[in-house]
């Protein structure tokens, strides 16, 4: 039997589109209709008193005077819950329209739909009846409402923004996706969002919210007295914030009643206490007006309830009256810092910060410190640099008397780093490093210039007998890495006669045409020997890459424009070059032995230290050579060795609680052997030949 549509039901469903918007503020609507998951696991109503600072940004989402709203704040502020979930609830119930929510990836959009938006709509007795009754109208990324309005949960892609009109666009976690800086060459995600809402004129609204994620471009930048609310020069959401009217959160002092910014710089703790847990428990807040430095955490909620957003160019009195002239702009912009975050205590803020400082001092890594400043404090990170410029002479003064090309006491495993040089002086530049939990040693440095290909069988001089090596032209030339690195042993500096094999080769896979193809081929050759785990092919990544080392498997078999034969079977490690170089630079600035210290042998010439200091940070905060002709191989190869620590997981303290057999002391180390008993690297068990898969057998 044919089922016909019910005209009366259709008229009832779309009637809400003809109704005027419900006359209530966004905050009132969110409190009434939205549902959030409570600590108990149940779903309940959203309470504005938990995050009172979100009232104004929420209510301004329907402003007819502004085209966009930008919110910068730390994690655990409730900003996403309010600006994304809350705005969706308002749109569905009070003012139905087409809305686009952009997450950082397709996977995150699906997760957000399953864990947040879908359950919120299903658990609200006011919102659930507004969903379409047709099953195909409600899926992970697309939700069609009963009234015909459309909610899309998507990710940053040109196809998502192109050829579509959306009245409201929300981009969440803006600084967590580098793609949003330039979406496939079309422009920034926020600019594309504004273009999609343009046809709705004053009724359209584009929103971007995030904690800061990009570094300060000018480390010497200081706030201007004329623009005290200005965000430091950076990329991403901070740059968007500066386009708006720059509103900062102020709260009143419990002692004098005067308002001051709710910022990190006003927290105080006992800095003489060496135990960071005890130090964090002494934290208080300081009032710049009356000098009261004993404002305790217990006063925080009272201060939050009275807090106000103050735009740039305005002042606020003790009575809470705001006066002044706002910046004439199309955008509302808000910035709050960690001390005001409802779900983060001052003690935890200080503890996380001191933990980051401690980790930086111990390892030279700035990652933990950067993470807490970005996500806990809600501030952009400024690269920590030494007061003294790193110089080649100062590094050379640290050289130690060593036995040439011997493994020093303390080094537990060896990493050989290789740079492929093209042109007339084609060669492999090899630098071998000894490593322990915290310290590094440069053990060897040499060039592989000759191949195993015979040029003149009668010649006795190697340069006359063998052809120059050609990594781009001859795949077999890569086998020299096995012969001269993997099959070689370095004597231990203990007069025992024992030697240690190199555990890992880290090799640049790029350069002139043919290098990448032959690098992939060499990896496949090692795989037939079951030694492919000893080769780590690397390539520099973008400055915004979040992972220190990201493993990819390039596959261009369907790309006729690509020359390298990447079939998806060879792992390529993409390096966060800037951040790795930050780590190495911090290690080189340490001048006494200990955690993070790099040891140099006294037999290396001045040229080596010149290479180590060839790069410095430019005005954009990127590492680059001031003199493009200056060699920098020593610096690059030391950074490759740092990348190896992340690949091998040796940068994690838990690794050293039960180290792998190749990182054990010499007597238990599987890479240590006696040449009289073993003349070459231990041959791994030959990989078994692949067999044809049999799905079933008949007898």
The domain locations on the chain are 7-246+327-336, 392-673
Rounded-to-integer distance, Cα 199 and Cα 462, Å:
74
> What is the band of 685 on the pLDDT scale with cuts at 50, 70, 90?
very low
Rounded-to-integer distance, Cα 460 and Cα 343, Å:
75
pLDDT tens digits, one per residue of 605-654: 999 999 999 988 775 667 888 788 889 999 999 999 999 999 999 999 89
pLDDT at 684: 47
> What is the band of 218 on the pLDDT scale with cuts at 50, 70, 90?
confident
Work out the angle between the directed axes of helices 633-648 and 577-589 (0-180°, nearest 10): 100
The CATH number of the structural domain formed by 7-246+327-336 is 3.40.50.300
- 3-state DSSP assignment of residue 75: coil
* Cα–chain center distance at 77: 20
Q: What is the pTM of this model?
A: 0.75
Rounded-to-integer distance, Cα 699 and Cα 412, Å:
56
Beta bridge partners of 154: 102
pLDDT at 303: 97
pLDDT tens digits, one per residue of 550-566: 999 987 655 555 555 66
> What is the band of 568 on the pLDDT scale with cuts at 50, 70, 90?
confident
Neighbours of 114 (CB within 10 A): 12
Rounded-to-integer distance, Cα 359 and Cα 377, Å:
17
């Amino acid at each position: 039997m044919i089922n016909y549509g019910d005209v009366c039901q259709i008229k009832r469903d779309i009637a809400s589109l003809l109704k005027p918007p419900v006359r209530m503020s966004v905050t009132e609507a969110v409190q009434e209709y939205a549902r959030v998951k409570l600590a108990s696991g149940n779903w309940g109503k959203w309470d504005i008193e938990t995050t009172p600072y979100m009232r104004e940004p929420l209510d301004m989402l329907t402003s007819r005077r502004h085209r966009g709203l930008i919110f910068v704040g730390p994690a655990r502020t409730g900003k996403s819950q309010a600006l994304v979930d809350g705005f969706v609830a308002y749109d569905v119930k009070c003012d139905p329209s087409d809305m686009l929510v952009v997450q950082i990836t397709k996977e995150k959009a699906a997760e957000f739909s399953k864990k947040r938006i879908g359950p919120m709509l299903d658990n609200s007795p006011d919102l659930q009846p507004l969903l379409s009754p047709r099953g195909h109208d409600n899926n992970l990324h697309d939700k069609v409402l009963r009234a015909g309005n459309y909610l899309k949960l998507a990710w940053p892609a040109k196809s998502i923004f192109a050829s579509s009109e959306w009245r409201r666009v929300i981009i969440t976690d803006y600084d967590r996706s580098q793609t949003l800086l330039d979406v496939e060459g079309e422009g920034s995600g926020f600019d594309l969002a504004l273009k999609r809402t343009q046809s709705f004129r004053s009724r359209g609204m584009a929103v971007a919210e995030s904690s800061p994620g990009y570094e300060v471009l000018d480390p010497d930048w200081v706030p201007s007295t004329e623009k005290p609310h200005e965000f430091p020069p950076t990329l991403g959401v901070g740059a968007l914030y500066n386009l708006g009217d720059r509103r900062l959160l102020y709260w009143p002092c419990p002692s004098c009643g005067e308002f001051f910014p709710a910022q990190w710089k006003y927290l105080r703790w006992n800095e003489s206490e060496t135990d960071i847990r005890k130090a964090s428990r002494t934290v208080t807040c300081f009032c710049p007006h009356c000098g009261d430095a004993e404002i305790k955490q217990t006063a925080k909620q009272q201060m939050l309830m009275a807090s106000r957003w103050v735009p740039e160019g305005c002042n606020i009195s003790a009575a809470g009256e705001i006066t002044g002239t706002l910046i004439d702009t199309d955008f509302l912009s808000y910035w709050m810092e960690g001390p005001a975050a409802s779900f983060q205590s001052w003690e935890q803020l200080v503890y996380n910060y001191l933990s980051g400082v401690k980790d930086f001092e111990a390892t030279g890594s700035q990652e933990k410190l950067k993470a807490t400043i970005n996500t806990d404090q809600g501030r952009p990170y400024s690269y920590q640099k030494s007061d003294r410029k790193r110089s080649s002479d100062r590094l050379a003064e640290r050289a130690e008397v060593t036995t040439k090309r011997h493994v020093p006491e303390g080094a537990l495993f060896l990493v050989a780093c290789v740079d492929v040089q093209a042109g007339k002086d084609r060669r492999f530049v090899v630098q071998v490093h000894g490593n322990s939990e915290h310290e590094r040693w440069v053990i060897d440095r040499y060039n592989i210039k000759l191949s195993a290909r015979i040029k003149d069988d009668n010649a006795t001089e190697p340069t006359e007998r063998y052809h120059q090596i050609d990594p781009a032209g001859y795949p077999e030339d890569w086998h020299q890495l096995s012969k001269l690195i993997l099959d070689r042993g370095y004597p231990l500096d203990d007069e025992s006669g024992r030697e240690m094999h190199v555990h890992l080769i880290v090799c640049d896979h790029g350069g002139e045409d043919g290098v990448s193809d032959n690098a992939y081929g060499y990896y496949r050759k090692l795989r037939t020997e079951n030694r492919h785990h000893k080769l780590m092919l690397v390539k520099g990544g973008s400055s915004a890459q979040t992972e220190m080392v990201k493993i990819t498997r390039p596959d261009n078999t369907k790309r006729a424009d690509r020359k390298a034969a990447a079939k998806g079977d060879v792992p390529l490690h993409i390096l966060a070059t800037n951040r790795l170089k930050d780590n190495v630079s911090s290690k080189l600035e340490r001048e006494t032995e200990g955690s993070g210290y790099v040891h140099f042998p006294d037999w290396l010439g001045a040229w080596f230290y010149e290479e180590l200091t060839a790069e410095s940070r430019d005005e954009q905060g990127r590492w680059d050579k001031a003199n493009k002709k200056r060699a920098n191989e020593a610096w690059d190869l030391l950074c490759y060795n740092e990348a190896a620590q992340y690949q091998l997981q040796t940068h994690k303290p838990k690794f050293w609680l039960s180290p792998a057999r190749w990182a054990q002391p010499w007597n238990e180390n599987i890479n240590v052997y006696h040449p009289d008993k073993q003349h070459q690297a231990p041959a791994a068990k030959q990989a078994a030949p692949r067999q044809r898969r049999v799905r079933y057998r008949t007898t």
